[in-house]
Amino acid sequence: MDLSKTGKLIARLRREKGLTQKDVAEKLGICAKTVSKWETGHGFPDVSFISELSRIFAVDPSSLLEGEMPKIKPEVGNVKRTKFYVCETCGNILTSIGNAEMVCCGRKLSPLAAKKDDAAHKFNIQTIEDDFYITFSHPMTKEHYISFVAYVRFDRVLTVRLYPEQGGELRFPQMRGGKMYYYCNTHGLFALEI
């Protein structure tokens, strides 16, 4: 750990949030001189303060420990590169179109790898009016169900959240040139070209 790097990062994050050293100290229940020592590289926050500092500054605790924010190039362009993440603890669904670190319920999430649909995970797609009418015979029990269906096109992602004991049908506005993704809570993510 580099005290100077971490100190400079704490100072930068504090200024970005519009806080004074006294404001941060009051939130932590310590004196402002302690925060000053951290920022000048003459001390390092006790481990017990790292999670609270990361909450105050809205950053990952590992960034504070390393003394730098991850450098991720801005992603411009194609929404077709959408990555899906599902938290195994709470079932939260997250998406990104570029490189991202996703964390939910205190755990780092990895992007899901889509598989080609199989016989047990077949979707029937019909065109009704101006919509895709989608039906499936997959179980929708509390233990085994389709959690979400997403339609990804070059400029948008439409997502429908599904719940156990719900019927196996849904509709999407008809758009050509996209890909359908659906997530089984037991078998993972599947993809289907439209």
Asked whether the whole model's pTM tops 0.85, one would answer no
Q: What is the pLDDT of residues 7-50, one digit of tens each?
A: 999 999 999 999 999 999 999 999 999 999 999 999 999 888 99
Confidence (pLDDT) at 67: 86
Q: What is the pLDDT of residues 181-192, one digit of tens each?
A: 999 999 999 998
φ and ψ of 78, to 5 deg: -80, 120
Q: Residue 91 class from Cβ within 10 Å (0-12 exposed, 13-18 middle, 19+ buried)? A: middle
Confidence (pLDDT) at 39: 92
Cite the DSSP H helix spans in the chain.
Answer: 3-16, 21-28, 32-39, 47-57, 61-66
Confidence of residue 166 (pLDDT cuts 50, 70, 90): very high
Please state whether beta strands 131-136 and 123-128 pair in parallel, antiparallel, or not at all (unpaired). antiparallel
Does the structure show a pLDDT above 70 at 174?
Answer: yes
Confidence (pLDDT) at 72: 66
Q: What is the pLDDT of residues 69-96, one digit of tens each?
A: 877 666 665 788 899 999 999 999 999 9
Confidence (pLDDT) at 33: 95
Q: What is the pLDDT of residues 118-162, one digit of tens each?
A: 888 889 999 998 899 999 999 999 999 999 999 998 888 999 999
Confidence (pLDDT) at 98: 79
Nearest to 56 by CA among 30, 76, 79: 30
Contact between 16 and 23 under an 8 Å Cβ cutoff? The reply is no
The highest-confidence range among 14-28, 67-81, 98-112, 167-181, by mean pLDDT, is 14-28
φ and ψ of 57, to 5 deg: -90, -5
